C-alpha cells in the first residue's frame, strides 16, 4: 500500500483518478534500445503460448480466451509467420486471416523471458518500484486484443516497447452501461459483453451513456491505468506490438475484493457442479479456473481465503512527506465522444431474439458483480467506516462553462452546492442541480443537503448540471409597460439541417439570464445536439412503461437507433421529453392552424419557451428588447399575453406563405431515397417498407 501511496503522491490530486500518459518516458530503457525482432528471437528461444483469433469477427460476441485456439511457438516462429511463411507451428492459420497474441506472461515465472526482464527498469520511473520481477510480457500481431474488462485489484502501469496499441478506457462510473459479466470466469477480471472490435450500440444501447478516453501508445510511452478503469486494448497499424506492464496491489483495499472474488468462485463452481452436463458451464471458465474447479479442495481453499482476508489487518499508512517530484510530464488522457468510436449502423446486425433462458444466463446472473456485492461478508476491521471517504471527481456543466469539482464520497450535498456556487457564481438560493440519466434534480433542501454523495450514488466521472433558476420577479420574466414599449416578439431562424428542434430548444434554454445580444444568430452546435439526442435515447430506454412501442410507433430499439442519427428529425415525443428535462413548458405555435400545443402544461412549470413550427421546421421565438439590445427567450407562464403575440406572428408568417403544408409537401425517404407526396404518402411508404425517416425534397 505504501508503494502505491508514494507513486500516487507524484501526481496532482486532480490527476489520480484519471488515466495518465508520459510520452517517450522510457525511450532510454534497455528494452527500447535492444528489443528488435532479431534480438528477441535470439534471446527468447523457449516456447510461448499464443492465443489465436480471427481478424474479421467484429459483429459477433467477443473472442473469449476460453474459446480460443492456442499455439506453442517461439518468437522466431512468430516473426517467420508474420513474414508470410505458413510453416509449422502456425500452418493452420493464414497470416492474412488470423492474429496471434502471447499475453499475461509473468516474466519471472516464464523461463524463456526471465533473462530479459532486467531490461525494464521500472525503478528509473519510480524509485519505489525496485522489483522488476513483477513485469508481465505481451506480444501480439496486428488486430490482436483482449476483450474489454477491468481488473479488480490495484493499479497498472504499461510500457509500450515496439509497435502501436490503441487503448480505449472507461471510468468506473460507466460500469452500468458496459454490460459487465463474470462469464467467462477469470479471477480478478470483470468482462464486458460488448465486442469492442465493432461495438453494437443497437444491441447494447446503454453503451451510448459512456465516456471513453482513447489513446494510441507508441514506443517509449508509459500509461497509468487507475483502479477499476475499464480498458479495451488492440494492436494497430499492421505491425507487431510488444508491451510490458506491472500491476501494483493495494492490500488495504484489495483484501475486501479478494473476499468477493472467492465468493464469485464458490458460486460459479457450485452452480457448474449442479448444472446439467449439456450446459457445459465449465467451458466458460479460463483454464486456470477450470483446473482449480476440478481439484478436490477448492471449497476449503476459498473459505480459508475469505477468512484470511477478513482477519488480516494492515498497519496504518501514515502520510508521506511531500518530497517526490514527477520525473516526466504526465498528461490526462482526454475524453472522447462515444460517437467517435462507434461503427456505422449499416455494419451492425441484431442477433435473433431467443425467448429461452439458458443455464449460462442464469449462472451469469448469480455471478453478476452487483449480486456478489449483496452479502455482508466483510466485518471489522476491514469494514470500518472511512471517515475521509474515497475521492470523487465530478464534471460540472453550467451556462458559465464547465468545471472540475474535487470532493469525496462522504462529502454532503451542501458541500457540493457550496463548490458549485463558488465556481459558477450562481446564487445559492437560486441554485438547481441535476445528475444522472435521465437527469434528476438533487434535493437542496436543508434535509436533502445533509445526504452524502455516496448515499445519492454520485461517483467519480459523473456530470452535474447546474442552473440558476430564473426568478419570476426579475425584469426578464415580467413584461412591464415600460418594457412593452421597447420589445417585440420575433422569429429567430434556425439552420435547416434536420436538427432545428434541438438547436431551437438549446438556443432558448441556454439564455436564462436574457443576456444574449439581439444580433446573435441561431447556430447549430453539433456536439450539443448529439448530446441532446443521446439524452433522449437514454430517457426512452430507461422508461419502457411510458415510451412503449405504441407511443413510439416502432420498436424501442428502432427508435433508439434512429434518434441518435444526425439526419433524424425531432417531433412531439422529443419536445415532451425536453420539456421534462429542462423543467420548462414548451409551447409550439403551428403556422398553418394557429394552434398552440403546450408541452408540460400539466406540470405547472413557472416558465415557458416558444417555438414556431411551419409544418416541417422549428424556429425559436424571442422578445427583442431594443432598450437593452438583448433577447429574452424564457417567459413566465403567468404571462399569457406572449401567447397572443406568438399567434399574431404565426398568422403573419402564414400570410407570407412561409410554411409547409404537410398534406401536399414534397418529401423523400432518407433510407431508400424514394420521392413521396405529403404526410399520407409517407405513412403508406412507412407501412410497406418499414422506413420511418424522411426529409424535405427540393421543389423543381
**Active site amino acids:** 497, 500, 617, 691
* Residue of 155, 162, 331, 123 lying closest to 240 (CA atoms): 162
Q: Which residues contact 596 (CB under 8 A, 6 or more apart)?
A: 587, 588, 589, 590, 643, 646, 647
Whole-angstrom Cα distance, residue 481 to residue 661?
38
Whole-angstrom Cα distance, residue 402 to residue 536?
21
Strand partners, 156: 225, 247
Q: Which residues contact 399 (CB under 8 A, 6 or more apart)?
A: 424, 467, 468, 510, 512, 513
CB burial readout 541-579, b (16+ within 10 A) else e: beeeeebeeeebebebebbbbbbbeeebbbeebbbbbbb
User: Helices marked H in 521-634 — which ranges?
Assistant: 526-542, 549-552, 556-563, 572-582
662 upstream amide cis, omega within 30 of 0? no
Tell me if 233 sits within 8 A of 354, measured CB to CB.
Answer: no
- 3-class secondary-structure state, position 103: strand
Helix-helix angle 572-582:500-509, to 10 degrees: 20
Tell me if 491 sits within 8 A of 649, measured CB to CB.
Answer: yes
DSSP assignment of 565-591: STT----HHHHHHHHHHHTSEEEEEET
Whole-angstrom Cα distance, residue 208 to residue 109?
41
Helix-helix angle 526-542:500-509, to 10 degrees: 100
First to last CA, the chain: 74
Strand partners, 242: 139, 162
* Residue of 159, 47, 161, 51 lying closest to 111 (CA atoms): 47
- 3-class secondary-structure state, position 64: coil
Q: What's the farthest any 2 CA atoms get from each other in the chain?
A: 91
* Residue of 77, 288, 68, 106 lying closest to 189 (CA atoms): 288
Amino acid at each position: 500500500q505504501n508503494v502505491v501511496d508514494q507513486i500516487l503522491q507524484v501526481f496532482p490530486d486532480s490527476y489520480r483518478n484519471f488515466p495518465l500518459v508520459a510520452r517517450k518516458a522510457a525511450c532510454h530503457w534497455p528494452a527500447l534500445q535492444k528489443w528488435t525482432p532479431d534480438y528477441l528471437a535470439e534471446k527468447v528461444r523457449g516456447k510461448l503460448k499464443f492465443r489465436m483469433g480471427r481478424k474479421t469477427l467484429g459483429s459477433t460476441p467477443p473472442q473469449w480466451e476460453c474459446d480460443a485456439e492456442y499455439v506453442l511457438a517461439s518468437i522466431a516462429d512468430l516473426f517467420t509467420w508474420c513474414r508470410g511463411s505458413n510453416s509449422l507451428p502456425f500452418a493452420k492459420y493464414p497470416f492474412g486471416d488470423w492474429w496471434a497474441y502471447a499475453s499475461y506472461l509473468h516474466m519471472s515465472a516464464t523461463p524463456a523471458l526471465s533473462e530479459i526482464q532486467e531490461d525494464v527498469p521500472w525503478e528509473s520511473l519510480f524509485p519505489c518500484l525496485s522489483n522488476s520481477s513483477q513485469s508481465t510480457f505481451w506480444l501480439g500481431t496486428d488486430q490482436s486484443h483482449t476483450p474489454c474488462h477491468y481488473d479488480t485489484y490495484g493499479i497498472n502501469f504499461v510500457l509500450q516497447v515496439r509497435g502501436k496499441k490503441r487503448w480505449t478506457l472507461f471510468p468506473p462510473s460507466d460500469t452500468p452501461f458496459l454490460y459487465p459479466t463474470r462469464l467467462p470466469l477469470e479471477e480478478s477480471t470483470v468482462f464486458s459483453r460488448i465486442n469492442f472490435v465493432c461495438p453494437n450500440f443497437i444491441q447494447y444501447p446503454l453503451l451510448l451513456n459512456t465516456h471513453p478516453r482513447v489513446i494510441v501508445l507508441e514506443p517509449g510511452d508509459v500509461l497509468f491505468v487507475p483502479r477499476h478503469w475499464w480498458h479495451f486494448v488492440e494492436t494497430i497499424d499492421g505491425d507487431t506490438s510488444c508491451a510490458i506492464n506491472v500491476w501494483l496491489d493495494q492490500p488495504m483495499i484489495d483484501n475486501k475484493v479478494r473476499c468477493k472474488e472467492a465468493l464469485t468462485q464458490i458460486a460459479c463452481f457450485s452452480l457448474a457442479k449442479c448444472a446439467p452436463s449439456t450446459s457445459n458451464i465449465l467451458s466458460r471458465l479460463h483454464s486456470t479456473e477450470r483446473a482449480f474447479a476440478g481439484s478436490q479442495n477448492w471449497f476449503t481453499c476459498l473459505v480459508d481465503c475469505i477468512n484470511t482476508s477478513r482477519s488480516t489487518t494492515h498497519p496504518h499508512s501514515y502520510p508521506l512527506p511531500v518530497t517526490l517530484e514527477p520525473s516526466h510530464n504526465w498528461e490526462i488522457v482526454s475524453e472522447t465522444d462515444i460517437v467517435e468510436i462507434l461503427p456505422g449502423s449499416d455494419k451492425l446486425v441484431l442477433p435473433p431474439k431467443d425467448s429461452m433462458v439458458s443455464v449460462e444466463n442464469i449462472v451469469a446472473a448469480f455471478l453478476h458483480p452487483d449480486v456478489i456485492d449483496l452479502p455482508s461478508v466483510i466485518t471489522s476491521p476491514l469494514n470500518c467506516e472511512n471517515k475521509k471517504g474515497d475521492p470523487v471527481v465530478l464534471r460540472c456543466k453550467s451556462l458559465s462553462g464547465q468545471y472540475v469539482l474535487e470532493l469525496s464520497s462522504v462529502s454532503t450535498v451542501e458541500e457540493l452546492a457550496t463548490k458549485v456556487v463558488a465556481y459558477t457564481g450562481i446564487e445559492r438560493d437560486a441554485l438547481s442541480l441535476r445528475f444522472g440519466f435521465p437527469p434528476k434534480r438533487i434535493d437542496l433542501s436543508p434535509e436533502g443537503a445533509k445526504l452524502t454523495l455516496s448515499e445519492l450514488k454520485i461517483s467519480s466521472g459523473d456530470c452535474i448540471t447546474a442552473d440558476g433558476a430564473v426568478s419570476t420577479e426579475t425584469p426578464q420574466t415580467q413584461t412591464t409597460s415600460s418594457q412593452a414599449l421597447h420589445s417585440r416578439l420575433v422569429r429567430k431562424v434556425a439552420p435547416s439541417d434536420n436538427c432545428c428542434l434541438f438547436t431551437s430548444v438549446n438556443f432558448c434554454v441556454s439564455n436564462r439570464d436574457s443576456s444574449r445580444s439581439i444580433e446573435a444568430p441561431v447556430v447549430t452546435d453539433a456536439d450539443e445536439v448529439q448530446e441532446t439526442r443521446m439524452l433522449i435515447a437514454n430517457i426512452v430506454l430507461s422508461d419502457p412503461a411510458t415510451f412503449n412501442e405504441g407511443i413510439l410507433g416502432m420498436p424501442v430499439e428502432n427508435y433508439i437507433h434512429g434518434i441518435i442519427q444526425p439526419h433524424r428529425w425531432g417531433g412531439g415525443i422529443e419536445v415532451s421529453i425536453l420539456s421534462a428535462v429542462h423543467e420548462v413548458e414548451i409551447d409550439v405555435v403551428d403556422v398553418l392552424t394557429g394552434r398552440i400545443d403546450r408541452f408540460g402544461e400539466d406540470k405547472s412549470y413557472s416558465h415557458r419557451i416558444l417555438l414556431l413550427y411551419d409544418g416541417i421546421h422549428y424556429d425559436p421565438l424571442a422578445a427583442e428588447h431594443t432598450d437593452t439590445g438583448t433577447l429574452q427567450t424564457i417567459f413566465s407562464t403567468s404571462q399569457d399575453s406572449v401567447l397572443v403575440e406568438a399567434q399574431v406572428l404565426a398568422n403573419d408568417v402564414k400570410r407570407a406563405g412561409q410554411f409547409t403544408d404537410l398534406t401536399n409537401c414534397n418529401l423523400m425517404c432518407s433510407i431508400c431515397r424514394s420521392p413521396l407526396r405529403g404526410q399520407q404518402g409517407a405513412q403508406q411508404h412507412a407501412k410497406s417498407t418499414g422506413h420511418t425517416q424522411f426529409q424535405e425534397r427540393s421543389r423543381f
